[in-house]
Structure 1
Amino acid sequence: MKKIGFLVLVNLVFFNAVSQNLTVKDSIIIDTVQNIKFNYKQLIIPGILIGYGFWGIESGQIKSFNFQIREELTENIDRKVTIDDFSRYVPALSVYALNAFGVKGKNSMRDRSVILGTSLIIMTTTVFSLKSITHIERPDGSSDDSFPSGHTAVAFAGAEFLYQEYKDKSIWYGVAGYAVAAGTGIFRMYNNRHWLTDVAAGAGIGILSTKAAYWLNPYLTRKLFGTKESKSTSFISPIYDGKEFRVCFLKTF
Structure 2
Amino acid sequence: MNRLVVCFLFFVFQLKAQQPNAVSADSIQPKTNIKLDLKYQQFIIPTVFIGYGIIGLESGQIKGFNAGINEEVTEHIDKKITVDDFSQYLPMASLYGLSALGVKGKNNTKDKTIILATSYLLMGLTVNAFKQTASVKRPDGTSYNSFPSGHTATAFMGAELMYQEYKDVSVWYGVSGYLVATGTGIFRMYNNRHWFTDVVAGAGIGILSAKAGYWLYPIASKWFTKKNATKIKTVMAPFHDGRNTGIGFIKTF
Q: TM-score range by the shorter chain?
A: 0.7 to 0.9
Residue pairs, 1:141-180, within 5 angstroms: 141-180=141-180
Taking structure 2 as the reference length, the TM-score comes to 0.83
Following the alignment from structure 2 to structure 1, what is the Cα–Cα distance between the partners of residues 36 and 101?
Answer: 28
Aligned length, in residue pairs:
224
* Structure 1 pair 170–237 and aligned structure 2 pair: CA distance change class (3 A): farther
Identity of aligned residues (%): 56
Following the alignment from structure 2 to structure 1, what is the Cα–Cα distance between the partners of residues 173 and 236?
Answer: 27
- What's the counterpart of residue 25 of structure 1? none
Please say if residues 20 and 215 of structure 2, whose CA atoms lie closer than 8 Å, have aligned partners that are also in contact.
no
Following the alignment from structure 1 to structure 2, what is the Cα–Cα distance between the partners of residues 29 and 220?
Answer: 10
Following the alignment from structure 2 to structure 1, what is the Cα–Cα distance between the partners of residues 36 and 59?
Answer: 38
Shift of the alpha carbon at 1:104? 1.3
Shift of the alpha carbon at 1:58? 0.7
- What's the counterpart of residue 218 of structure 1? 218
* Structure 1 pair 156–238 and aligned structure 2 pair: CA distance change class (3 A): farther
- What's the counterpart of residue 73 of structure 2? 73
- What's the counterpart of residue 29 of structure 2? 33
Query: Which deviates more from structure 2 when the two are superposed, residues 109-118 or residues 32-41?
Result: 32-41
* Structure 1 pair 229–176 and aligned structure 2 pair: CA distance change class (3 A): farther
Shift of the alpha carbon at 1:233? 6.1
Following the alignment from structure 2 to structure 1, what is the Cα–Cα distance between the partners of residues 233 and 159?
Answer: 23
Shift of the alpha carbon at 1:243? 1.4
Following the alignment from structure 2 to structure 1, what is the Cα–Cα distance between the partners of residues 252 and 99?
Answer: 13
Following the alignment from structure 1 to structure 2, what is the Cα–Cα distance between the partners of residues 36 and 69?
Answer: 37
Please say if residues 110 and 233 of structure 1, whose CA atoms lie closer than 8 Å, have aligned partners that are also in contact.
no
Please say if residues 114 and 235 of structure 1, whose CA atoms lie closer than 8 Å, have aligned partners that are also in contact.
no
- What's the counterpart of residue 108 of structure 1? 108
- What's the counterpart of residue 120 of structure 2? 120
Please say if residues 33 and 219 of structure 1, whose CA atoms lie closer than 8 Å, have aligned partners that are also in contact.
no
Following the alignment from structure 2 to structure 1, what is the Cα–Cα distance between the partners of residues 198 and 36?
Answer: 31
Q: Which consecutive unaligned segments of at least 5 residues does structure 1 have? A: 1-27
Per-residue deviation, residues 60-102 of structure 1 (Å, max 9, x unmatched): 0000000000011000000001000000000010010000111
- What amino acid does structure 2 have at the position aligned with 1:136? V
Per-residue deviation, residues 194-234 of structure 1 (Å, max 9, x unmatched): 0000000000000000100101102321x21337797x964
- What's the counterpart of residue 88 of structure 2? 88
Taking structure 1 as the reference length, the TM-score comes to 0.83
Residue pairs, 1:47-66, within 5 angstroms: 47-66=47-66
Shift of the alpha carbon at 1:236? 2.2
C-alpha RMSD of matched pairs (Å): 2.1
Q: Which consecutive unaligned segments of at least 5 residues does structure 2 have? A: 1-18
- What's the counterpart of residue 3 of structure 2? none
- What's the counterpart of residue 190 of structure 1? 190
Please say if residues 94 and 162 of structure 2, whose CA atoms lie closer than 8 Å, have aligned partners that are also in contact.
yes
* Structure 1 pair 101–252 and aligned structure 2 pair: CA distance change class (3 A): farther
4+ residue segments displaced more than 4 Å: 227-230
